[in-house]
Structure 1
Amino acid sequence: MKLTFYKYQGTGNDFVMVDNRENIFPKNDTKLIGHLCDRRFGIGGDGLILLENDNGTDFRMVYYNSDGNESTMCGNGGRCIVAFANELGLIDTETEFMAIDGRHHATIDVEGTISLHMKDVHTVSVYENYVFLDTGSPHHVELVDGLDELDVKKIGASIRYSGLYGDKGSNVNFVAPFGTDKFSVRTYERGVEDETLSCGTGVTAVAIAMKVLGKTHSDSVKLETPGGELQVSFVQDGKQFTDIYLTGPARFVFKGDIEW
């Protein structure tokens, strides 16, 4: 079978994108999805995203990690699928789409910067050495010294597979201050089981965690990842966070066909 695919990246977080409005893709074939995401034997990507029809919105986003399993919300993937839908002519400068965690609104400007409305955060759990919250995906957030030299894969995996988070595990973010209302972030992603160049739900979690910890007093935070800069804004009402927006670039990389 031949598959036409598109490759997109958002601050280095890259995805294989498939227009599945005609339900051509074998969605339960985890081995195939893993193969397509493989950087040596397939196309290569941190995940695979299907764009599908949805009755109540412009389209539906179905996201798979590179291990082949369907996963929770992906913020950078959400921004990339908006760029993809724009390229397909489904939307213009504004959209509403359905994802696994509910409806998302997004806008896209002429330069390709996409602002994605994320789910509200009602609970932020603060512990002695870390913060845990769910921004569409679960995230462990930890301030560290020596971020540049940190073995993110090794330490991230030890936390992800520890008794803290059970069988489902958690994404793990390591953070260091990087100027006024700006932080450097490196993320270990479950499902990829490695460090990625950027994680949208991860930087969203970091921005909120830094506000809760008093490391920033701003409601708009810049996050520097190995793949580039993102911005997260929000409205805080006591312990709850609403009107959360993840903003940054999403870029088309290439289009191709692959057979299996």
Structure 2
Amino acid sequence: MRIDFTKMHGLGNDFVVLDGRATALPAIDATSAAALADRHTGIGCDQLVVLEPSTFADLRMRIFNADGSEVEACGNATRAVGLLIGTAASIETLAGIIHASPAESGITVEMGKPRFDWDVIPLAFAMDTQAMPVAWEELANPIAVNVGNPHAIFFVDDPYAIDMARLGPLIENDAIFPARINVNVAAVTARDAITLRVWERGAGLTLACGTGACATAIGAMKRGLVDRRVTVTLPGGPLEICWREDGEILMTGPATQSFRGSFDAAAYGMISA
């Protein structure tokens, strides 16, 4: 059985998208997702995105990281799916219902409301999430935010001076984060501008992270460092983040379709239902 796929990216954060809305796909698990994501022996991507029918929304989106772990949300993937659909749509995720719609500068996604309670980040025990009393070498006192998935944000002078390849996995897998964590290092450069690098949970250092941009912007706003509308510039390019007065986060940015193809399902361990 051959499966069609679409390769897409949002500012370089790349995805393999499988559309199972009209015809059910073979079963996908952590092993098959990781095999498809492998850049040497698979198609290669940061995340595998699977579209399915939904009872509660226009469609359901499942997201698997490159290591095969299934995650709650991905802002860049949502923009890619919004581009693929081409119209405004409600999308069911593990983080709840989110909405994507075409915009002049790409796709706008309503990402929901941020959460700050220690037990919904989640952390291993209660502490102040606005300035966590912890440090990993020069990275200290992060703010923790859940924007559908968990993020720790460190504000530094120069994000590119941080050894993320070494510190990223150390923080991601620390026992204080029972569900692991996305690690963000950011510099505020103006009241409306942030520079950001992200070590993504289960994917590593990526060119862009939509939820990371949202979490970092919200963290900077909570600390009074920026206004409620900012441009977050990642290695792959900029995203516009707005925190509305009603608490909803809006993220706007581009998405791109790279190419289409097909693969042999059996070669990647996908078993027909």
**TM-score scaled by length of structure 2:** 0.85
Q: Greater CA deviation, 17-26 or 134-143?
A: 17-26
- Coordinate RMSD, CA, aligned: 1.6
Task: Specify which of 116, 124, 130 is matched with residue 126 of structure 1.
Answer: 130
1:66-97 CA distance string (max 9 Å, x none): 111211111111111111222xxxxx3x1112
- Alignment map for 1:1-260 (pairs within 5 Å): 1-21=1-21, 22-28=23-29, 30-86=30-86, 92=87, 94-109=88-103, 113-123=106-116, 125-127=129-131, 129-166=141-178, 168-192=179-203, 194-216=204-226, 218-236=227-245, 242-259=247-264, 260=267
3-state SS, counterpart of residue 55 of structure 2 = coil
Deviation at 1:110, TM superposition (A): 6.1
Deviation at 1:179, TM superposition (A): 3.3
3-state SS, counterpart of residue 112 of structure 2 = coil
Q: Greater CA deviation, 75-84 or 145-154?
A: 145-154
Counterpart of 2:121?
Answer: none
Q: Are the counterparts in 1 of residues 191 and 230 from structure 2 also a CA contact under 8 Å?
A: no
Report the residue type matching 2:243 in the other structure: F
Q: Greater CA deviation, 18-27 or 246-255?
A: 18-27
Deviation at 1:178, TM superposition (A): 2.8
* Alignment partners' CA distance in 1, 2:76 and 2:251: 8
Counterpart of 1:89?
Answer: none
* Alignment partners' CA distance in 2, 1:148 and 1:123: 27
State the percentage of identical aligned residues. 31
Count of residue correspondences: 245
Report the residue type matching 1:154 in the other structure: R
1:200-226 CA distance string (max 9 Å, x none): 11110000000111111x211110000
* Alignment partners' CA distance in 1, 2:104 and 2:215: 28
* Alignment partners' CA distance in 2, 1:8 and 1:84: 9
* Alignment partners' CA distance in 2, 1:135 and 1:225: 18
Report the residue type matching 2:102 in the other structure: I
Report the residue type matching 1:115 in the other structure: T
**TM-score scaled by length of structure 1:** 0.89
Show structure 1 runs of 5+ residues with no match: 87-91
* Alignment partners' CA distance in 2, 1:162 and 1:33: 24
1:131-158 CA distance string (max 9 Å, x none): 0010000000001233223211211111
Report the residue type matching 1:27 in the other structure: I
3-state SS, counterpart of residue 81 of structure 1 = helix
Q: Greater CA deviation, 101-110 or 180-189?
A: 101-110
Show structure 2 runs of 5+ residues with no match: 118-128, 134-140, 268-273
Deviation at 1:48, TM superposition (A): 0.4
